[in-house]
Chain A
Amino acid sequence: MKEFAPIPLGEWVSDGIDRLTREYATAFDSISFVIYELIDALKSGLHAIPAPWFIVLLSLLAVLAAGWRRPGGWGLGLFTLVGLGLVWNLRLWDDLITTLSLVLASEALVLLVGIPLGIASAKSAMVERILRPVLDVMQTMPAFVYLVPAVIFFGLGLVPGVISTTIFALPPLIRLTSLGIRQVPRELVEAALAFGATWWQLLTKVQVPVALPAIMAGVNQSIMLGLSMVVIAAMIGAGGLGNVVLEGITQLDVGKGFVGGLAVVILAIVLDRITQSMGKIYQQKGKPR
């Protein structure tokens, strides 16, 4: 039996990427520049705040977000204070800020792209049909695979880190936004239309506010996924806590790896609880507090 020659899929992709880099170099450069400026501003802004202040501010924010009348709110505040204090004490503060800027910058991009796409896919069956396989690919394709093209397009450093983190963290927000909007009760939509709402009024006054708990869950999920990309992003020179972990691994320094990992976990828990509480507070608005 004659064997079929292998389809040169890999070569096609390589060629495509090559052509893209050649022909759109200026475009990628300008994107890279904008994102770099964004992160840089964020990073220097966050660095400008002295660590103790930052820790106290974040703890207060945690208390407020989780509800200062509830004991849980104060618990979260205390955890934030102690956890971040520990990171500071371990001399990992600068790395933490770098990681935080990376996560926040990619989260900003995720929101910018994800919410409109989520809305579009909720409103149009066509968009949903096109988007679904794309999201599947984004979620399941191993992150290392698109790390390389990201480096080719954007060079080493924070920018490709942000881009790949964004790609990785985008799907849940799109999915949950779309789901949340689809799940707005039909009669609520009909009510808005019956009172003469425009498309935009329907979206901003009814669909998005009612879907907000789901959207907030999406935001929370994408932040968590972003944090899980921290170590991978460090491989292409994004720096931050991921770098600490990476050094620990490469130098077989278990202690260092553990400390870096712990700092990531602390940051993750703090961000997770704060964003979750924000979503919950919104949901519970109206219930007697």
Chain B
Amino acid sequence: MSSEAPMPTDSSHQALAPKIRLEKVSKIFGRHADQALDLLAQGLDKKTVQERTGVVVGVYDISLEIAEGEIFVIMGLSGCGKSTLLRLINRLHEPTTGKVFIGEEDITAMRARELRRLRRNAFGMVFQSFALLPHRNVLSNVEFGLELHGVARQARRERAQQAIETVGLSGYEHKYPDELSGGMQQRVGLARALAVDPQILLMDEAFSALDPLIRGQLQDDLIAIQERMGTTVVFVSHDLDEAIKIGTRIAILRDGRLVQVGTPQEILAAPADDYVSAFVRGADRTKVLTAADVMLPLHTFAHLRDSPRALLRKMQHSGFSGLIVLDNQRHPLGYVELRQVIEMRDQTRLERSALRPLPCATPEEPLSELIRRSNVEGSPMVVCDTKGRAIGVIDKTTLLAALAQQGETDESTAATGEQTAEQPACAPPTPPASERNPSSEESQVPVEREDKS
């Protein structure tokens, strides 16, 4: 079958800490790499270096750490070196300088045999053009990786079958690639990668060649599979919405240099420079920002035992025309409006029946969902933690403000370096009386956002 004896799988399955670490990695294509590296160190850009030395810069001076179980997205325009960077991770490209560690192992120092062992045991790879073997049927394509490992026929058939089921291709085992649609072909590609049970899944623009609907499905599948298997995924994409949807962190490359690394929220909220902000301009914020990102902290609220007169004073101070009522454990009880407080002003206590029930949101709910719910269930909305305690409030103004940011984009914030998702300067402390008004905290107070960094 092959010149090399089948690799025994016993010794090779030693525990690798599947974490990827890149240390000052550069890749220059062509001769005179030293000269090009000097020029790059002086801060010249890719194009100038190419004009002066004739070499093509893949990536320059990239240091990164990718944690186990992450979906790490490498983003950038075409030609920015993102596919090169991906291929440096499994050494399909030889780095010109720098080191790449897979777990504790320095892949750049490996001999050919060791490298093959690592590739067989740690990596699965999925390609933009699917890269399926046209002369093999689906089953046989999925078996390919295992076949290279020298896994026995019966065992590899079983594992391939499992992988085919995982990606939802059962029943197509004996079809040939050219009988399948693009989306199905890429499922085969994914199954082929999953069949070897990889610790690291490298995906090179894997979904870019597919139409949006199929792409969305495959993204969902990938997320589900990743959650189930805990695989570390490195995903190259030029599509920001895709990166935001699947990525736990995103790295943005420009001309072979690393511009910014962060969670989708961080990148949207604080683009490192004009390039990144131009990049994120088109992103759909409503899918990224969550209740926790846009909510205002709940500082001003009412207790049931408060007297209506005390509440009136609170409202006067804060300028709110309504208040959220909490119990002692900060569980929300309801919402009381100025009009009702005025009616009850001679009583000593609020009546529970006067409270309007409040919709509750979780901190993770995306903005798009919040907008939908506020239409149906009214506002304000309380954001509660897992124990049901109120941690923040969202009203229509907050939602509009968050949306407004999407339209007017990040130019201003990129310039000042401030975070975006807070209050728009124009938001009045007391919104128009036509609406039932927010009982939330003063808008002027800057909101502490929880950035997961």
Q: Contact residues of A with B, CB < 8 Å?
A: 185, 187-188, 190-201, 204-206, 209-210, 212, 282, 285-288
Of the candidate stretches B17-25, B117-125, B438-446, the one touching chain A is B117-125
- A195/B2 in contact, CB under 8 A: no
The residue from B117, B128, B148, B196 contacting A192, defined by CB atoms under 8 A apart:
B148
| B398 at the binding interface (Cβ < 8 Å) | no
B156, chain A: closest CB distance, angstroms: 12
Task: Give the complex CA separation of A195 and B179 in angstroms.
Answer: 24
Task: Give the complex CA separation of A192 and B192 in angstroms.
Answer: 11
Task: Give the complex CA separation of A285 and B70 in angstroms.
Answer: 40
Evaluate whether A209 and B133 lie within 8 angstroms (CB atoms) in the complex, with A187-B128, A285-B176 already known: yes
Residues of chain B within 8 A of A198, CB atoms compared: 2-4, 116, 148
Please report which residues of chain B, range 97-139, place their CB below 8 angstroms from some CB of chain A when the two chains form the complex. Answer: 116-120, 123-125, 127-129, 131, 133-135, 137
Residues of chain B within 8 A of A212, CB atoms compared: 135
Residues of chain A within 8 A of B131, CB atoms compared: 185, 187-188, 190-191
The 13 sampled A-B contact pairs (Cβ below 8 Å) are A191-B125, A193-B92, A193-B119, A195-B125, A195-B196, A196-B116, A196-B120, A196-B123, A198-B4, A198-B116, A286-B179, A287-B176, A287-B178
Residues of chain B within 8 A of A285, CB atoms compared: 135, 176
Residues of chain A within 8 A of B192, CB atoms compared: 195
- A194/B119 in contact, CB under 8 A: yes
**Closest 6 pairs between A and B when the two form their complex, measured CB to CB:** A286-B176, A196-B120, A200-B3, A196-B119, A194-B125, A187-B131
- A197/B148 in contact, CB under 8 A: yes
Residues of chain A within 8 A of B202, CB atoms compared: 194
Q: How many residues in B have their beta carbons less than 8 Å from beta carbons of A?
A: 35
Evaluate whether A195 and B134 lie within 8 angstroms (CB atoms) in the complex, with A185-B129, A187-B129, A190-B87 already known: no
- B147/A194 in contact, CB under 8 A: no
Residues of chain B within 8 A of A288, CB atoms compared: 179
Q: Contact residues of B with A, CB < 8 Å?
A: 2-4, 87, 90, 92, 116-120, 123-125, 127-129, 131, 133-135, 137, 144-145, 147-149, 175-179, 192, 196, 202
Q: Please give me the residue from chain B that is nearest to A187 by CB atom.
A: B131
Q: Please give me the residue from chain B that is nearest to A286 by CB atom.
A: B176
Evaluate whether A195 and B176 lie within 8 angstroms (CB atoms) in the complex, with A190-B127, A282-B135 already known: no
Residues of chain B within 8 A of A190, CB atoms compared: 87, 92, 125, 127, 131
The residue from A185, A188, A195, A287 contacting B148, defined by CB atoms under 8 A apart:
A195
Residues of chain A within 8 A of B124, CB atoms compared: 195
Main secondary structure of the interface of A (DSSP, over half): helix
- B177/A286 in contact, CB under 8 A: yes
Residues of chain B within 8 A of A199, CB atoms compared: 3
Task: Give the complex CA separation of A205 and B137 in angstroms.
Answer: 13
Task: Give the complex CA separation of A190 and B148 in angstroms.
Answer: 14
Residues of chain B within 8 A of A282, CB atoms compared: 135
Task: Give the complex CA separation of A29 and B99 in angstroms.
Answer: 58
The residue from B3, B137, B148 contacting A286, defined by CB atoms under 8 A apart:
B137
**Beyond A196-B123, A196-B145, A286-B134, 10 extra complex contacts between A and B, CB < 8 Å:** A185-B131, A187-B128, A195-B123, A195-B144, A200-B4, A201-B148, A210-B135, A282-B135, A286-B177, A286-B178
The residue from A187, A204, A206 contacting B127, defined by CB atoms under 8 A apart:
A187
- A196/B148 in contact, CB under 8 A: yes
Task: Give the complex CA separation of A45 and B129 in angstroms.
Answer: 49
Task: Give the complex CA separation of A187 and B128 in angstroms.
Answer: 8
Of listed A192, A193, A200, residue having the most chain B CB within 10 A: A193
Task: Give the complex CA separation of A194 and B131 in angstroms.
Answer: 12
Task: Give the complex CA separation of A197 and B4 in angstroms.
Answer: 10
- A287/B92 in contact, CB under 8 A: no
- B135/A286 in contact, CB under 8 A: yes
Task: Give the complex CA separation of A192 and B133 in angstroms.
Answer: 10
Task: Give the complex CA separation of A205 and B141 in angstroms.
Answer: 11
Residues of chain A within 8 A of B4, CB atoms compared: 198, 200-201
Task: Give the complex CA separation of A245 and B129 in angstroms.
Answer: 54
B231, chain A: closest CB distance, angstroms: 15
A198, chain B: closest CB distance, angstroms: 5
Task: Give the complex CA separation of A187 and B206 in angstroms.
Answer: 12
